[in-house]
Amino acid sequence: MPVFGTGHARFNFEQALTIIVETLRDSPTTVAEAVIVVSDIERAEIARKVIAAAIPGFDPAIEHAQTDEDQPRSIWSEES
Task: Please write the tens of the pLDDT for every residue from 17-53.
Answer: 898 889 888 989 887 888 887 878 888 899 999 999 9
Is pLDDT of 80 > 50? no
Segment 55-80 mean pLDDT: 67
Q: What is the pTM of this model?
A: 0.67
The pLDDT, as a whole number, for residue 38 is: 81
Question: Using CA of residue 41, residue 72, residue 13, residue 18, what is the dihedral sign?
Answer: negative
Looking at per-residue pLDDT, the higher value among 39 and 56 belongs to: 56
Largest CA distance in the chain: 44
d(CA 64, CA 16): 17
